[in-house]
Amino acid sequence: MDRRIEKTQIAIFTALISLMKEKRFEKITINEIANLANVNRGTIYFHYLDKYDILDKCIDSYLKNIFVGCSSDTPENLMYNTFNYIYENKTIFSIFLSDRDTSFFRKHLLKETLDSMNKQVHNSKVDKTKQEFRNYFLASAFVGMIEWWINNSMILTPKEMVDNFTSIYDDIKID
């Protein structure tokens, strides 16, 4: 990606996140984003369809890194790295969840989690439909735990989150 485009994208995302700290996403305008990012409206519309597209791409930019470098030897290490990344970026993830309509964030997080699980978890003894169902169930539970954790001010450490998830997983004995 061209460095100028990348700088513009970062400025726009930073402006959006800054505005989301102050008010609900629905109340934010393209003009406000442009002014804070120090770009003109035309630049925003050159790169994005509307503010929803900006939010969509902003969330994607953070979530694409959530599992990067997490091709760990164990699911526990993968989860730990994921919780640690979220913890290190807690302000941004809290903002994404603080808005009334958190479906953008939830949808993207679930997709990234499922994609990661599908790459990591393959059980040739289980038929494809059962494997998809299992992965969706686990990904949904994982996303729910992340949401609970963020909404409860991350009262547990990343390690404690992994321990809780693996304990529950072991209790229900999902193969």
Q: Helix or strand or coil: residue 142?
A: helix
Distance CA 57, CA 53 (A): 6
User: 117 with 139: CB under 8 angstroms?
Assistant: yes
Q: How confident is the model at residue 81 (pLDDT cuts 50, 70, 90)?
A: confident
Query: What are the φ and ψ backbone dihedral angles of 122, each rounded to 5 degrees?
Result: -130, 125
At 42, the amino acid letter reads: G
Write down the domain spans for the chain. Answer: 3-56, 64-172
Nearest CA among 79, 90, 84 for reference residue 113: 79
Distance CA 78, CA 84 (A): 10
pTM of the model as a whole: 0.77
132 has a pLDDT exceeding 90 = no
Q: What is the CATH number that goes with domain 3-56?
A: 1.10.10.60
Between residues 64 and 8, the one the model is more confident about: 8
Region of poorest pLDDT, from 64-68, 88-92, 154-158:
64-68
Distance CA 56, CA 118 (A): 22
Q: How confident is the model at residue 104 (pLDDT cuts 50, 70, 90)?
A: confident
Query: Highest mean pLDDT range out of 27-31, 140-144, 146-150?
Result: 27-31
pLDDT in tens, 14-26: 999 999 999 988 8
Q: How confident is the model at residue 74 (pLDDT cuts 50, 70, 90)?
A: confident
103 has a pLDDT exceeding 70 = yes
CATH 1.10.357.10 fits 64-172, yes or no: yes
